[in-house]
Amino acid sequence: MYKTRQHVIRCAAMLLLAAQVMTASAQLSLDSIQVLDEVTITSKQSSRTMATSQTLQGEELQALSNTSVADALKYFAGVQIKDYGGLGGLKTVNVRSLGAQHVGIYVDGIRITNAQNGTVDLGKFSLSTMESVSLYNANKLDHCQSASEYASGATVYLRTRRPTKDSLSVQLRRASFTTYMAKANVQFERKGWSGFIDGEWTDSRGDYPFRYHSEYEDTVGRRANSDIRYGRIEGALFKGGFSSHIYYYDSERGCPGGIVRRLSDKYVNVGREWDRDFFVQASYQAHFKEHHHVKVNAKYTNEYLRYCTDYPENQNTARVDNHYYQQDGYGALCYAFTPWQWLSLSASYDVRYSKLAADLKKFDDVFRLDQKQVMAAQVNWQGLQAAASLLHQHYRDVTFAHVGAADPLERWTPAVSTAYTWEGLTLRAWYKKIFRAPTLNDLYYTQVGNRNLKPEYTKQLNMGVEYHFDSPHWNASVQADAYQNKIENRIVCLPLKGTYTWSMMNYGYTFCRGLNATAQGRYHTDDWQFSLLGSLTWQRDVNRTDPEDEDTYDKPICYSPTLSSGVTAIVGWRSLQFTTSYLYVGERMWSYADPEDVLKPYHNIDMKLTYTLPMDKTQWGVCLEVCDLLDIQYEHIPRYPMPGRNYKLTLSFGI
């Protein structure tokens, strides 16, 4: 691995060539997938130093105490998680204060979309099928990637694990707050084909206790209407440059509201939500004639959401029963040309067709055609790397709704990156300008939509340094990036002057400066294995909206901590593994109105102990986790408490 990486650094283009050779030769050998994988990783390694990225993969990813993708991402520098609490609470991720809608989440290079509101609930995605989770600020810089991969401010890549052998594993879990989980995974590898089927069923009452204690209250209670049950089944099939994925998720959950003053428990929130998400996607990539690389992506998504408060118990609030249907067809064509070893040119075209339907009054079906083209070039010459891309996006909506469709939106946006590497040390700098188009909710949603919205722009500038050290037992890396972001024309919901109504509007300008740093060290012998992973975020992002308003101008953005950090230590001895994670998130203000309107800083300690016992050809395992060991009461959203200390016991069996 060390050897390969050096190779890459010296002359990445050589590898591209090598990759083609290997692929060609791989067709003759049975372990072709292995070879191809190796190439994918190494070629990515070359660009990864030019892009700012963080990755959790393999054993380290599985060693973390996590139930969803959100749990893994919170250990990355520059990431802020918004979590409404509990298993069922909406979990979204915000990177470097850009806002959740600027973060694209990709499964094997294809974006998970939500035409309605543009955010992805990370609670819906399991890590058990993932080989790695990566966060890229700005572009990933593969030499052949789809146009939509250039179209988000930050990108999270979830890479599905490609099985290398036949296996069956079953997990059963009992956790706090009456939570039960059962999971099964079958995977196979035959004649170059590999794949898996992974299913999970979870049921949780989620009635965790909370306490609010201050000068003005001592509120103790248990979360009500916080239950969730979900089933998830997904499968994947791979062969060589072909990969495919099918996914189905079905859930029902309660929507608990904020904890507010009440005289008794007589009136509780009764709102419930149902989700049914389905997608199927496939991707194929191939090299031909040495200089050419082609990738084709296709995806179909079908999502259903129902929100209902129309119950006999609800005699006091609006009785809502709304259904939302989204469908999304997506196709991408990418082509890369490598005329010389040091140069790669690529062009990609993406098209997405979305349909949103809902039984809201004054609403009708909305259709969106979203097309993107990108042209990109990459140079790798004697340790010097540079990449530039120009993205063109075009949005066109059609609706039968009486408000009419927004005008078509068309914009060009650039990104440039450069890096220089010498003896494992890389210096890099990049700039990216990108926008998010107003979502269909922003434009057309009944009684808030505003079809005159302009896109919300982000401009990111980053300078960083990265160092890798490898030896037979040791492996370490550190990186630090200083960045500056500007966000213009934020799309927010604001009340209209002199009416009782609210509307989406372009309002707000954010200026953000920060520092992200990560350090990783690993040491291993035959029996022992140590890993230490650390991340640190210092950030000052301020509101630059209204210079006249001294209460808000140059004041920190709400919900954004100045300082946050995380440390994870993993110790393995033979088949025993112990992980402890520490997370600190500093004080965040949630309103400018009162210095007391802050979310207190919190420390979180999670621990996980795993023991695996091989018996004949089977493996038995037991895993005990403690989350929030110190039982810290904290929140991400005011009055939405997070669960305190909780336990998980998992038994596993595998062949």
Nearest to 296 by CA among 520, 145, 411: 145
Stretch that binds other proteins, among 8-16, 104-112, 123-131, 551-559 (CB under 8 A): 551-559
By CB under 8 A, residue 311 contacts other proteins: no
SS3 149: helix
Q: What is the DSSP string of 42-82?
A: HHHHHHHTTSEEEEEEHHHHHHS--SSHHHHHTTSTTEEEE
Report d(CA 182, CA 178) in Å as an integer.
14
Q: Residues touching other proteins: how many (CB under 8 A)?
A: 55
By CB under 8 A, residue 547 contacts other proteins: no
Q: Let me know: does 570 contact 546? Beta carbons within 8 Å.
A: no
By CB under 8 A, residue 6 contacts other proteins: no
Q: Let me know: does 346 contact 355? Beta carbons within 8 Å.
A: no
By CB under 8 A, residue 600 contacts other proteins: no
By CB under 8 A, residue 400 contacts other proteins: no
By CB under 8 A, residue 489 contacts other proteins: no
CB of 97 to other proteins, least distance (A): 15
Taking CB under 8 A as the criterion, the residue among 110, 112, 259, 366 binding other proteins is 259
By CB under 8 A, residue 319 contacts other proteins: yes
Taking CB under 8 A as the criterion, the residue among 3, 190, 261, 617 binding other proteins is 261
Taking CB under 8 A as the criterion, the residue among 3, 165, 190, 499 binding other proteins is 499
Residue 168's alpha-carbon distances to 14, 188, 477, 617, in angstroms, are: 39, 9, 35, 11
Taking CB under 8 A as the criterion, the residue among 226, 297, 503, 539 binding other proteins is 503
By CB under 8 A, residue 484 contacts other proteins: no
List CB contacts of 6: < 8 A, sequence separation 6 or more. none
Q: Let me know: does 523 contact 474? Beta carbons within 8 Å.
A: yes
Nearest to 389 by CA among 366, 410, 418: 418
Q: Which of residues 510-539 bind other proteins (CB under 8 A)?
A: none
Is the CB of 31 or the CB of 321 nearer to other proteins?
Answer: 321
By CB under 8 A, residue 597 contacts other proteins: yes
CB of 214 to other proteins, least distance (A): 9
- Written as six digits, the tokens of 93 are 């991720």
Taking CB under 8 A as the criterion, the residue among 59, 290, 546, 587 binding other proteins is 546
By CB under 8 A, residue 260 contacts other proteins: yes
SS3 11: coil
By CB under 8 A, residue 558 contacts other proteins: yes
By CB under 8 A, residue 222 contacts other proteins: no
Stretch that binds other proteins, among 111-119, 360-368, 524-532, 608-616 (CB under 8 A): 360-368
**Dihedral-angle region of residue 609 (phi above 0 means left; psi in -120 to 50 means alpha; beta otherwise):** beta
Nearest to 17 by CA among 344, 388, 424: 344
Taking CB under 8 A as the criterion, the residue among 2, 174, 258, 622 binding other proteins is 258
- Written as six digits, the tokens of 642 are 């997070």
Using the CB atoms, write b or e for 338-348: b if 16+ within 10 Å: beeebebbbeb
CB of 70 to other proteins, least distance (A): 22
By CB under 8 A, residue 257 contacts other proteins: yes
Is the CB of 168 or the CB of 320 nearer to other proteins?
Answer: 320
Report d(CA 394, CA 147) in Å as an integer.
12
Residues that bind other proteins (CB under 8 A): 215-217, 257-264, 266-267, 315-320, 322, 360-362, 402-404, 446-447, 449-452, 494-501, 503, 545-546, 549, 551-552, 558, 590-594, 597, 638-639
